[in-house]
């Protein structure tokens, strides 16, 4: 089927379905920043309440199939946010990849085209919500259900909760809030984990508290501070606290590193600015894609292992995945063993080569996804050159044409893509292995989201002078 016909079919489906789709209306005028922040707080509060509300009829599964994806999906096991933002992220990435690969052709310079694409994404999100809710309920909670109606109730809860989350995200993105609900929920989830690791007063397995701050106080009062630097069982420690602070500083520093190309406006005489090409040009999308791939692989092979190799006696399955029968979420062999992080120094000490292998795996796969995303996500030198021309700006000393601008950008973008992806993969891998609070990937996402929020505030100021340039810079 031709690419154009695929887009035509999508348009026809959207035109027929759009009148029946519930929508969050856009505000009639721009809302003051204080009110938008208030709406963000309300949406976040609803999400957090859902994250503490257990699923009716759900029995605790033997192990957590989505353990490796909880940070990315901002989800909580056994609650209404069991699937979190997973369906929204999956549908959004799928549509962006289809558009970036030119399978779907939409001209985002036209508001009506952008609206059709957004509605199509919403339709795909509904499909993903239904599919994931059914599959997850049957695969994870189905074995513990005795009455068929309970399974239907579980599926309904997962669908309803995911739709509510979708509307919360739409509420924020439509202009009632600031940024996106997806970013807000991820950032809040990671921050919650970090605060929990620092201040939780609940007891831990070593006789102290989970939070490192109460544990330090408890240790000084008991006169025994020998364990505060390093703790067993991946519990929060001073080493982990210092490592978390160090990773945060490195991320903030590297996010500020960029190449600045001078640009001038062709519409507004005398206006000049710079076009920044950041060292972290691809943002954290490659890390998200790599983590999602790893999480899905672990999820699939956990299910296969549970049904086909629960005693680790299948010769062929052992090459792919082996798990501890007494703790089914713990890999002990096979390929899965080397693509999941050994968290904590005590675990690393038992098998250092596994830690090295995992870090190298993260670097390699993030670089692969980084290069792929630049091409499919509209970030290539060719796309960036076209964006500059569409924003009515040009680079001094270069003709206002695609080829010379693309040649200039081609000197920088491929290099920063590889170097930035290697740094992100290294930081994510080392952070996960050494036990950063909130997980390495979580910290990467949180810092990137916070910087994006800052960029959005700057973009609002730029848009006052040059709306199209402000929108373009806001995506970088």
Is residue 264 domain-shared with residue 162, that is, in the same domain? no
Final residue before a domain boundary, out of 178, 207, 224: 178
Query: Do 167 and 129 contact (CB within 8 A), yes or no?
Result: no
Q: What is the CATH number of the domain that holds 164?
A: 1.10.3370.10
CB proximity list for 272: less than 8 A, separation 6 or greater: 262, 263, 264, 265
CA distance 158 to 143: 17
Is residue 450 domain-shared with residue 341, that is, in the same domain? yes
CB proximity list for 223: less than 8 A, separation 6 or greater: none
Q: Which residue has the tokens 């995992």?
A: 358
Is residue 361 domain-shared with residue 471, that is, in the same domain? yes
> Quick check: 180 pLDDT over 50?
yes
Let me know if residue 334 belongs to a domain: yes
CA distance 455 to 463: 12
When pLDDT is averaged across residues 299-307 and rounded to a whole number, the result is 77
Q: Which residue has the tokens 């713990």?
A: 330
At 66-79, the pLDDT tens digits run 666 777 788 888 88
Q: Would you give the DSSP letter of residue 223?
A: T
And the tokens for 196?
Answer: 């929990």
The domain of 39 spans 1-23+32-178
> Quick check: 476 pLDDT over 50?
no
Closest residue by Cα to residue 370 from 254, 473, 284: 284
Let me know if residue 427 belongs to a domain: yes
Is residue 361 domain-shared with residue 460, that is, in the same domain? yes
Output the pLDDT for position 134: 92
Number of residues written out for the chain = 476
At 135-170, the pLDDT tens digits run 888 878 877 777 888 889 999 999 999 999 999 999
Closest residue by Cα to residue 31 from 184, 179, 175: 175
CB proximity list for 134: less than 8 A, separation 6 or greater: 155
pTM above 0.85, yes or no: no
Confidence of residue 316 (pLDDT cuts 50, 70, 90): confident
Is residue 164 domain-shared with residue 266, that is, in the same domain? no
Question: In this structure, are strands 322-324 and 272-278 parallel, antiparallel, or unpaired?
Answer: unpaired
Closest residue by Cα to residue 288 from 447, 442, 78, 103: 442
Output the pLDDT for position 165: 93
Let me know if residue 195 belongs to a domain: no
Is residue 173 domain-shared with residue 256, that is, in the same domain? no
Question: In this structure, are strands 393-394 and 258-265 parallel, antiparallel, or unpaired?
Answer: antiparallel
Let me know if residue 81 belongs to a domain: yes
> Quick check: 317 pLDDT over 60?
yes
When pLDDT is averaged across residues 284-300 and rounded to a whole number, the result is 76
Higher-pLDDT residue of 25 and 159 is: 159
Output the pLDDT for position 465: 53
Let me know if residue 202 belongs to a domain: no
CA distance 59 to 140: 10
> Quick check: 337 pLDDT over 80?
yes
Is residue 340 domain-shared with residue 419, that is, in the same domain? yes
Q: Would you give the DSSP letter of residue 140?
A: I
Output the pLDDT for position 50: 92
Closest residue by Cα to residue 179 from 60, 39, 79: 39
- Cα torsion 413, 414, 418, 420 to 10°: value is 0
Is residue 142 domain-shared with residue 247, that is, in the same domain? no
Output the pLDDT for position 182: 83
- Residue 45 CA, chain-centre distance (Å), reads 20
Q: What's the domain count of the chain?
A: 2
Is residue 273 domain-shared with residue 406, that is, in the same domain? yes
264, β-bridge pairs: 272, 394
* Strands lying side by side in the sheet with 393-394: 272-278, 258-265, 393-394
SS3 356: helix
Final residue before a domain boundary, out of 156, 178, 200: 178
Is residue 171 domain-shared with residue 246, that is, in the same domain? no
Is residue 267 domain-shared with residue 162, that is, in the same domain? no
Confidence of residue 212 (pLDDT cuts 50, 70, 90): confident
CB proximity list for 167: less than 8 A, separation 6 or greater: 22, 24
Query: Do 431 and 443 contact (CB within 8 A), yes or no?
Result: yes
Final residue before a domain boundary, out of 131, 159, 178: 178
When pLDDT is averaged across residues 50-68 and rounded to a whole number, the result is 76
Q: What is the mean pLDDT of the chain?
A: 80
Confidence of residue 32 (pLDDT cuts 50, 70, 90): confident
Output the pLDDT for position 160: 94
Let me know if residue 126 belongs to a domain: yes
SS3 257: coil
CA distance 476 to 282: 9
When pLDDT is averaged across residues 31-37 and rounded to a whole number, the result is 82
Let me know if residue 55 belongs to a domain: yes
259, β-bridge pairs: 277
Output the pLDDT for position 167: 93
CA distance 430 to 436: 9
Query: Do 427 and 440 contact (CB within 8 A), yes or no?
Result: yes
Is residue 123 domain-shared with residue 249, that is, in the same domain? no
At 381-432, the pLDDT tens digits run 888 888 777 777 777 777 777 788 888 888 888 888 899 889 888 988 888 8
Let me know if residue 198 belongs to a domain: no
276, β-bridge pairs: 260
């Amino acid at each position: 089927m031709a690419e154009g016909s695929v887009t035509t079919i999508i348009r026809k489906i959207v035109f027929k379905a759009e009148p029946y789709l519930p929508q969050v209306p856009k505000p009639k005028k721009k809302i003051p920043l204080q009110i938008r922040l208030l709406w963000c707080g309300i949406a976040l509060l609803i999400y957090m309440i859902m994250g503490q509300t257990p699923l009716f009829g759900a029995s605790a599964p033997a192990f957590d199939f989505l353990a490796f994806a909880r940070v990315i999906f901002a989800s909580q096991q056994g609650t209404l946010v069991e699937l979190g933002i997973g369906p929204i992220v999956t549908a959004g990435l799928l549509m962006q990849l289809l558009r970036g690969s030119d399978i779907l052709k939409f001209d985002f310079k036209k508001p009506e085209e952008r609206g059709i694409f957004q509605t199509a994404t919403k339709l795909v999100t509904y499909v993903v919500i239904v599919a994931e809710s059914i599959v997850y309920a049957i695969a994870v909670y189905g074995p513990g259900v005795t009455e068929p109606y309970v399974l239907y109730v579980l599926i309904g809860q997962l669908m309803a909760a995911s739709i509510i989350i979708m509307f919360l995200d739409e509420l924020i993105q439509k202009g009632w809030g600031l940024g996106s609900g997806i970013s807000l929920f991820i950032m809040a989830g990671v921050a919650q984990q970090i605060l929990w690791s620092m201040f939780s007063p609940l007891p831990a397995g070593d006789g102290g508290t989970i939070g490192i701050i109460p544990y330090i106080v408890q240790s000084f009062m008991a006169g025994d501070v020998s364990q505060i630097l390093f703790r067993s069982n991946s519990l929060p420690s001073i080493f982990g606290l210092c490592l978390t602070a160090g990773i945060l500083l490195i991320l903030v520093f590297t996010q500020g590193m960029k190449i600045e190309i001078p640009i001038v406006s062709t519409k507004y005489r005398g206006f000049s600015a710079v076009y920044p090409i950041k060292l972290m040009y691809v943002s954290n999308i490659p890390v998200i894609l790599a983590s999602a791939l790893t999480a899905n692989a672990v999820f699939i092979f956990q299910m296969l292992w549970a049904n086909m190799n629960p005693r680790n006696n299948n010769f062929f399955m052992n090459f792919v995945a082996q798990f501890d029968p007494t703790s089914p979420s713990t890999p002990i062999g096979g390929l899965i063993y080397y693509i999941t992080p050994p968290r904590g120094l005590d675990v690393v000490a038992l098998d250092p080569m596994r830690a090295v292998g995992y870090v190298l795996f993260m670097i390699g796969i993030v670089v692969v996804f980084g290069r792929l995303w630049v091409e499919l996500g509209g970030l290539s030198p060719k796309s960036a050159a076209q964006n500059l021309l569409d924003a009515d700006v040009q680079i001094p000393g270069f003709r206002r044409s695609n080829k010379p601008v693309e040649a200039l950008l081609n000197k920088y973008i491929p290099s920063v893509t590889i170097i930035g992806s290697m740094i992100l993969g290294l930081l994510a891998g080392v952070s996960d292995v050494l036990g950063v609070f909130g997980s390495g990937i979580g910290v990467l996402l949180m810092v990137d989201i916070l910087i994006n929020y800052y960029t959005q505030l700057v973009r609002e100021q730029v848009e006052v002078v040059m709306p199209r340039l402000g929108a373009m810079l806001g995506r970088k």
